[in-house]
Amino acid sequence: MTNKPETSTAIDYVLQARDVAVYYGGFRAIKEIDLDVPRNQITALIGPSGSGKSTLLRCFNRMNDLVTGSSVAGKITFNGSDIYDHAVDPTEVRSRIGMVFQKPNPFPKSIFANVAFGLKINGFQGDLQEGVERSLKAAALWEDVKDRLHDGAQKLSGGQQQRLCIARALAVEPEVILMDEPASALDPLSTLKIEELMRDLSANYTIVIVTHNMQQAARVSDQTAFMTMDEDRAGHLVEIGPTNEIFTNPRNQKTEDYITGRFG
């Protein structure tokens, strides 16, 4: 049972999905997704593995396009414009909607070059040094690396590398940052740092995070969406709502089962 969000003009939705389905060849991976992502808030997608959370996330920046044989049905809008319109270049979508991945994946270049990469690709008109510094500060990494900007990124710890990846994404000034289980490969201390960073960033950026860690979703997000796999092995959206409502008083039995640990 989908919890349809109210189309209210009072809430500013930066991303909206209507009846979205994703097919890999003939197989339907997710179906009937209706989702609204409010601006400058953190939206969490939770659910058991295989429920299609990452698949849905990757629709928002058209990363699914890179998988051969995949197709997306339905409508996804960014600031009101359909991002799957045939006139839209996915490259442009990706420079407006950034992504941070589960395992930190800095380029085998220097710290500086990693952050500057997105700036150069997208034709940044300002001073490269300033842009890099701004992004590293926004990712709470500047103090750690300011004296060794030209060291290799591989020399950083796991948590630092992930913050570097966040800085790299921030440099391009995306309005939305998609995070696919950004802390699952990190130790607990680094995880907390990332969560703190997320809350700071949400003042200026919209964040959508996929996480299998319910406590993390409860700690960090403003809105939570619960997805699960149906009998036909397609993921669908069970329920979506304000985080504390979802976790204290879910409307759907399946949601409650998952949250209380009865399954998943």
Partner 1 sequence: MASTNDTNQGQVPRFSLGRRRKGETTERLAHGLFLAAALVSVATTVGIVLTLFVQSVGFFSEISPWEFLTGTEWSPILKDENGARHYGVLPLVAGTMLVAVIAAALAIPTGVGIAIFLSEYAPDRVRKVLKPAIEVLAGIPTVVYGYFALTFVTPILRTIFPELIIFNALSAGLVMGLMIVPMISSLSEDAMVAVPRSLRQAAYALGATRFEVALRVVFPAALSGIVASFILAISRAIGETMLVTIAAGATPRMTLNPFESIQTMTAFIVQVSQGEAPRGSLEYNTLFAVGLLLFFMTLGMNVIGSIIVRRFRESY
Partner 2 sequence: MAFADRDRRFRPRLPRRKQWGTVVYALLVLSILVGIVGLVTLIAQVLLEGVGWLSLGFITNFSSRFPERAGVWAALWGTVWIMGITFLFAVPVGVGAAVYLEEYAPKNRLTRLIELNIANLAGVPSIVYGLLGLAVFISLLGLGRTLLTGGMTMGLLVMPIVIISSREAIRAVPSTHREAAYGLGATRFQVVMGVVLPQAVPGIMTGTILAMSRAIGEAAPMIAIAALTFVTFAPTGPMDRFTVLPIQIYNWVQDPREGFSGLAAAGIIVLLVVLLSMNAIAILIRNKTQTRSEE
Stretch of residues binding partner 2 (CB under 8 A), selected from 120-128, 154-162, 223-231, 254-262 = 120-128
99 binds, among partner 2, partner 1, none (CB under 5 to 8 A by kind): partner 1
Cα Rg for the chain, rounded, in angstroms? 18
Provide, rounded to whole angstroms, the least separation between the CB of residue 146 and partner 2.
22
Q: How far apart are CA 203 and CA 209, in angstroms?
A: 15
Q: Residue 248's CB: how many other CB atoms inside 10 A?
A: 10
Contacts from 243-252 at CB under 8 Å and sequence distance 24+? 243/44, 243/217, 243/218, 244/218, 247/214, 247/218, 250/226, 251/3, 252/1, 252/3, 252/226
CA dihedral (200, 158, 121, 135) positive or negative: positive
Does 178 contact partner 2 by CB under 8 A? no
Q: Residue 5's CB: how many other CB atoms inside 10 A?
A: 18
Does 134 contact partner 1 by CB under 8 A? no
Selected from 12, 25, 121, 244, the binder of partner 1 by CB under 8 A is 121
Provide, rounded to whole angstroms, the least separation between the CB of residue 19 and partner 1.
25
Provide, rounded to whole angstroms, the least separation between the CB of residue 95 and partner 2.
6
- How far does CA 110 lie from the centroid of its chain? 25
List the x/- string, 85-104, binding to partner 2 by CB under 8 A. Answer: ----x-xx--x---------
53 binds, among partner 2, partner 1, none (CB under 5 to 8 A by kind): none
Does 118 contact partner 1 by CB under 8 A? yes
Selected from 59, 63, 139, 246, the binder of partner 1 by CB under 8 A is 63
Q: Is 261 exposed, middle or buried (0-12, 13-18, 19+ CB in 10 A)?
A: exposed
User: Residue for token digits 């990494």?
Assistant: 141
Does 81 contact partner 2 by CB under 8 A? no
Selected from 13, 78, 84, 205, the binder of partner 2 by CB under 8 A is 205
> What's the length of the chain?
264
Nearer to partner 1, 185 or 192 (CB): 185
List interacting residues with partner 2 (CB under 8 A): 89, 91-92, 95, 121-126, 172-173, 175, 204-205
